[in-house]
A = this chain, B = another copy of it.
Amino acid sequence: MPNSLKNVRVVLSHTSHPGNIGAAARAMKTMGLHDLRLVQPKQFPDPAAVAMSSGATDVLDAAVVTDDLATALSGAALVVGCTARRRDLSHTMLSAREMAPLLLAQAANAPVTLVFGTEMSGLTNAELDQCQMLVHIPANPDYSSLNLASAVQILSYELRCAVPELAMPAAAQQELARHDDLELFYKELEQTLVAIGFLNLAAPRRLMTRLRRLFSRALLEKEELNILMGILKLVRHPAQVNVPKDWDIVD
């Protein structure tokens, strides 16, 4: 796990439902966060928290419970409050996406903290006073009530996406068909379409161009091209060819 995510702390203040604590722990862990602090949770530890954490009980077990927000923030270099509502005071307000690189840059040097208030009413004004900026998740203005764990999930996700080293590894690439083989295929296809009477070379109506575009978009793999060539050969010479053996299906 990159050090920058290790330095991101999540603080849940006065959470009402232990299930939400468990779900938040799971959400954190899926994105590589592990440092959870709980300010006066209503019920914790609790079986509902364990149930909702799925396999993230390590995060729950390591969670630190504190009596006040100040203690939970101890050592943090940047404190960001999560809010659904527009706040009147003059905090800097960032979107989740804007927040992520900023928070991570700080996390390279020191612990940074995301703070979440209660399910019903969010952060109190006294809690907001301890935040240096606010973060906001874009949402439906008619129904912006994200579940607590969902909010933790999205902010954790944005943080993970902002770690450059964690950019998704590219999918294993199949070998693409070569240009020359593609051209042979198009030639064979054209002759086949003429042979079956679909293409009239005297009035081609850009048919081959359309088909080229279609197959180009698919970025044909070598093996797929062999399949297509095998089909064309059977269409034109049904007597001569059996099911071709020069390709093989591999999953």
Contacts and interface: CB of A to CB of B under 8 A. Distances in A.
A168 B84 CA distance: 12
Contacts of A205: 248-249
Q: How many copies does the complex hold?
A: 2
A138 B196 contact: no
Interface stretch (A61-69, A101-109, A219-227): A219-227
B86 A171 contact: yes
A31 B198 CA distance: 47
Interface string A228-251: 001100110010001100001101
Contact of A196 (B55, B150, B174, B234): B234
Interface in A178-226: 193, 196-200, 205-207, 209-211, 214-215, 217-221, 223-224
Given A154-B157, A197-B243, A198-B231, 13 more contacts: A27-B147, A32-B140, A90-B221, A90-B224, A138-B160, A138-B161, A140-B160, A149-B150, A153-B154, A200-B243, A205-B248, A210-B227, A214-B220
Interface of A: 1, 23, 26-27, 29-32, 54-56, 86, 88-90, 93, 95, 97, 136-140, 143-147, 149-150, 153-154, 157, 160-161, 166, 168, 171-172, 174, 193, 196-200, 205-207, 209-211, 214-215, 217-221, 223-224, 227, 230-231, 234-235, 238, 242-243, 248-249, 251
